[in-house]
Structure 1
Amino acid sequence: MDFQSSLNKRNLIVLILIIVFAYFAFWMRMIPAEGLVSSAGVDLLGNDPWYNLREIEVMVSNSLQYPWFDPMTYYPYGTDNFWGPLFPMIASVMCILAGASTRPEIMYVSSFLPPLMAAAMVPVTYFVAERVYNWKAGLAAAFIVSFVGGQYFYRSLFAFVDHHIAEVFFSTLFCLAYIAYLVYVNKHPVDFRDKESLKIPALIAVGSGIAYTLGLYVMPTMALFALLVAIFTGLMFIINSYRNVSSEYLVLANTVTFLVAIAGLLVLGLHHSGTSMIRYSMGHVYAYLALIVGTLVLYGLRRALNEKPWHYYLGSVIAFGVVAIAFMIVAMPDFYGTFLSGLAGFFGYSAQLTTIEEAQNWSLDKAWSSFNVGIILMILGLFASVFLYLKEKKETFIFILVWSLLIIYSTTIQVRYEYYLGVNIAILTGILTACTLSYGWSEIEKILSGLKSEQQAPPQEESKKKGKGKNQPKALPKKKPVNSGKIIPFAAVVVFIAAFAYVMVPVDINTSEVMKNYGGMTYDWKEALEWFGENSPETGIDYYAIYDRADYTNPPESYGVMSWWDYGHWITFISERPPNANPFQEGVAGSNGAAAYFIQQSEEESNAILDNLNTRYVITDAEMDSGDGKFWAMSTWYDPEVQSAPYLEHFLNINSDNSYSVVTFYTPEYYNTMISRLHNFDGSMVDPSQVVYIEYVDGAAYGSPYPILSAATMLGFNEAEAKAEEFNAANAGTGKAAEILSWNVLVPDGKVPALQHYRLIHESPTNILEANNQDLKYVKVFEYVPGAVINGEGTIKIDLETGTGRQFSYMQESVDGRFIVPYSTTGANGDVMPLGDYTIVETGETFSVSEDAVMNGLTIN
Structure 2
Amino acid sequence: MLISFLVALYIRTIPKASVFLSNGFVRFGGNDPWYHLRNVESIVHNFPNILWFDAYTQYPSGTRQIFAPLFDLVLSSIIWILGFGNPDQDLIYKVCAYYPAFLGAIVVIPTYFVAKWLFDRRVGLLAALLIAIAPGQFLSRSMIGFNDHHIAETLLTTIVAMFLIMALKVGREHPFTFESIRAGKFAELRPALAYFILAGVSLGAYSLAWYGAVFFSFILGIYITVQHIIDHMHNRSTDYLAVGGVIIFGIALLMVLMVPNLSSRGLLIKGLFAGTIAFPIFTLISIELNKRDLKKYYYPISIASLSIVGIVFAKILSPSIYGLISSLASYFMRTGGGLTIAEASPLLSVGGQFSIAPFWGNFTTMGYISLIAIIYLGYEAFKKNNTPERTFLLVWTFMIIWAMLQQNRFAYYYSVNAAILSAYVGIKILDLAGWKDLLDEIKLKDKFDIKSIKIWPILSVLVILLVFMYPSYDMSMKQSQYTGGPNGYWIEASMWLDSNTPDPGLDYYESYETPAEGESYQYPDTAYGVMSWWDYGHWIEVIGHRIPNANPFQQGIGGRRNSIDEENKPGAATFFTAQSEEEATAVLEAVHPDPEKAGARYIVSDVEMATGKFYAMTAWTLDTADYYIPVQTDQGVQTVPGPRYFNSMESRLHIFDARGMEEYRMVHESPAGNSAETGYKNVYNALFEGNIPLENTGYVKIFEYVEGAQIVGEAPEGEDVTISVTILTNIGRTFVYSQSTVSDGTYSFTVPYSTLGPIEGETQFDTMPVGPYKISYGNVQEEVDVDERDVLDGNVIEV
Asked whether the equivalents of residues 41 and 103 of structure 1 are also in contact (C-alpha less than 8 Å), the reply is: no
Deviations, residues 676-712 of structure 1 (Å, cap 9, x unaligned):
111122221xxxxxxxxxxxxxxxxxxxxxxxxxxxx
Alignment: residue pair count: 729
Report the TM-score, using the length of structure 1 for normalisation.
Answer: 0.80
Residues 1:170 and 2:156 aligned together: yes
Note if contact 1:559-1:578 (Cα within 8 Å) is conserved in structure 2. Answer: yes
Distance verdict in 2 for CA 1:454–1:833, change over 3 Å: closer
Report the more deviating stretch, 645-654 or 394-403: 645-654
1:309 match: secondary structure: coil
Equivalent residues of 2:176, 2:239 under 8 A apart: yes
TM-score, length basis structure 2: 0.86
| Matched letter for residue 563 of structure 1 | S
Partner of 1:852: 789
Equivalent residue number for residue 761 of structure 1: 667
Cα distance in 1, alignment partners of residues 620 and 151 from structure 2: 29
Q: Which residue is equivalent to 1:53?
A: 37
Distance 1:429 1:287 in 2: 32
Match of 2:571 among 586, 593, 598: 593
Tell me which of 479, 496, 503 is aligned to 1:531: 496
TM superposition shift of 1:605? 2.2
Which residue pairs with 2:392 in the alignment? 399
- 1:241-256 matches, within 5 Å, as 241-256=232-247
The whole-number CA distance in structure 1 between the counterparts of 2:99 and 2:414 is 20
Q: For 1:50, what is the secondary structure of its paired residue? A: helix
- Measured in 2, the distance between the counterparts of 1:27 and 1:588 equals 39
Contact kept in structure 2, 1:171 and 1:222, CA below 8 Å? no
Give structure 2 stretches of 5+ with no counterpart.
349-355, 560-568, 593-598, 680-692, 714-719, 759-763
Q: Which residue of 2 aligns with 1:10?
A: none
Pick which of 568-577 and 360-369 moved more.
Answer: 360-369
Give the structure 1 partner of residue 227 of structure 2: 236
User: Take 2:448 and 2:550, find their aligned partners in 1: how far apart are those partners?
Assistant: 73
- Structure 1, residues 307-365: CA drift from partner, whole Å, max 9, x if none? 11211212212211221111111222222123222443x31121312211111111122
Q: Contact 2:711–2:750 at 8 Å: present in 1 too?
A: yes
Aligned residue number for residue 834 of structure 1: 769
The answer (yes or no) to whether the contact 1:767–1:775 under 8 Å persists in 2 is yes
1:801 aligns with 2:731: no
Task: Indicate the larger mover: 236-245 or 310-319.
Answer: 310-319
Deviation at 1:88, TM superposition (A): 1.6
Whole-angstrom CA distance in 2 between matches of 1:295 and 1:607: 56
CA distance in 1, matches of 2:507, 2:549: 17
> How far off its partner does 1:249 sit?
0.3
2:71 counterpart (84, 87, 90): 87
Structure with larger Rg: 1
C-alpha contact 2:174 2:191 (8 A) present in aligned 1:
no
Call closer, same or farther: CA 1:206–1:813 in 2, change over 3 Å. same
Q: Please identify, of 125-134 and 490-499, the stretch whose mean Cα deviation from structure 2 is larger.
A: 490-499
Call closer, same or farther: CA 1:212–1:451 in 2, change over 3 Å. closer
- By how many angstroms is 1:550 displaced? 2.6
Task: Give the residue type in structure 1 aligned to 2:512.
Answer: Y
**Cross-structure match for 2:596:** none
Shift in Å, 1:813:
2.6
Cα distance, 1:575 vs. partner?
A: 1.1
1:42-81 maps to which residues of 2 (within 5 A)? Answer: 42-81=26-65
Contact persistence 2:626–2:642 (CA under 8 A): yes
- 1:665 aligned to 2:609? no
CA contact (8 A) 1:76 1:580 kept: yes
Q: Which moved more, 1:592-601 or 1:260-269?
A: 260-269
The answer (yes or no) to whether the contact 1:384–1:435 under 8 Å persists in 2 is no
CA distance in 1, matches of 2:415, 2:127: 11
Hey, what's the Cα distance between the residues in 2 that align with 1:173 and 1:449? Answer: 35
Using the alignment, how far apart are the partners of 2:325 and 2:442 within structure 1? 60
Q: CA deviation at 1:30?
A: 0.7
1:506 aligns with 2:509: no
**Distance change in 2, residues 1:37/1:456 (3 Å):** closer
Mapped partners of 1:225, 1:501: distance in 2 = 28
Pairing 1:825–2:746 present? no
- Cα distance in 2 for residues equivalent to 1:417 and 1:554: 38
Preserved CA contact (<8 Å) 1:385 1:432: no
Q: Structure 1 residue 31: deviation in Å?
A: 0.5
Alignment-derived partner of residue 80 in structure 2: 96
Cα distance in 2, alignment partners of residues 457 and 596 from structure 1: 73
| 1:97-176 equivalences in 2 (<5 Å) | 97-99=81-83, 101-176=87-162
Asked if structure 2 preserves the Cα contact closer than 8 Å seen for 1:373 and 1:496, the reply is no
Matches of 1:34 and 1:832, distance apart in 2: 33
Q: Quick one: which amino acid aligns to residue 532 of structure 1?
A: L
Distance in structure 2 (CA, Å) of the matches to 1:491 and 1:308: 55
What SS class does the counterpart of residue 809 from structure 1 fall into?
strand
Post-superposition offset of 1:819: 1.2
Q: Go from structure 1 to structure 2 and tell me whether the alpha carbon gap of 1:282 and 1:666 turns closer, same or farther (over 3 Å shift).
A: closer
Question: What CA deviation, in whole Å up to 9, does each residue of 1:515-552 have, x standing for no partner?
Answer: 4xxx4111111111111111111111111111121364
Q: Distance in 1 between matches of 2:439 and 2:543?
A: 66
Q: Is the 8 A contact 1:610 1:616 kept in 2?
A: no
Task: Give the partner amino acid of 1:831.
Answer: D
**1:800 match: secondary structure:** strand
Per the alignment, in what secondary structure is the counterpart of residue 111 of structure 1? helix
In the alignment, structure 1 residue 37 sits paired with structure 2 residue 20: yes
Q: Which residue identity is paired with 1:102?
A: D
> Residue 168 of structure 2 is aligned with which of 176, 179, 182?
182
1:180 & 1:323 partners in 2: Cα distance?
Answer: 35
Amino acid in structure 2 at the alignment position of 1:682 = D
Distance change in 2, residues 1:830/1:635 (3 Å): same
1:733 is aligned to: none
CA distance in 2, matches of 1:583, 1:387: 44
| CA separation of 1:652 and 1:114: change in aligned 2, threshold 3 A | farther
Shift of residue 454, structure 1, vs aligned partner: 12
The offset of 1:778, in angstroms, is 0.8
Instruction: Give 1:133 deviation, angstroms.
Output: 1.7
Q: Does 1:553 align with 2:522?
A: yes
Within 1, Cα distance between the matches of 2:194 and 2:608?
Answer: 55
Instruction: Choose which of 588, 591, 602 in structure 1 pairs with 2:580.
Output: 602
| Residue in 2 that maps onto 1:520 | 485
- 1:623 aligned to 595, 608, 624, which one? 608
| CA deviation vs aligned residue, 1:236-274 (integer Å, no higher than 9, x gap) | 11111111000000100111111111110111224464x
Q: Indicate whether 1:316 and 2:302 are aligned.
A: yes
Q: 1:303 to 1:455 in 2, by over 3 A?
A: closer
Output the amino acid matched with 2:578. Q
Q: Does 1:648 align with 2:628?
A: yes
Q: 1:683 aligns with which of 648, 653, 658?
A: 658
Give SS of 1:310's match: coil
Q: Which structure 2 residues correspond to residues 673-822 of structure 1 after superposition, within 5 A? A: 673-684=648-659, 754-768=660-674, 774-792=695-713, 794-814=721-741, 817-822=747-752
> How far 1:496 moved relative to its partner?
5.2
Distance 1:271 1:428 in 2: 36
Please say if residues 377 and 496 of structure 1, whose CA atoms lie closer than 8 Å, have aligned partners that are also in contact.
no
Partner of 1:227: 218
Structure 2 counterpart of 1:577: 546
Deviation by residue 1:64-102 (Cα, 9 ceiling, x = unmatched) = 321121111111111112221222223222322332833
Task: Return the letter of the residue paired with 2:163.
Answer: A
1:814 counterpart letter in structure 2:
T
Q: Indicate conservation of the 8 Å contact 1:40/1:104, yes or no.
A: no
Structure 1 residues 290 and 755 mapped into 2: Cα distance closer, same or farther (>3 Å)? same
Matches of 2:429 and 2:170 in 1, distance apart?
A: 25
Q: After the TM superposition, which of the residue ranges 213-222 and 264-273 deviates more from structure 2?
A: 264-273
Q: Would the alpha carbon gap of residues 232 and 299 (structure 1) be closer, same or farther in structure 2, given more than 3 Å must change?
A: same
Contact 1:45–1:520 (8 Å) recurs in 2: yes
Check conservation: 1:68, 1:271, Cα contact below 8 A: no
Q: How far is the alpha carbon of 1:558 from its aligned partner?
A: 0.5
Structure-1 residue corresponding to 2:369: 377
Secondary structure of 1:218's match? coil
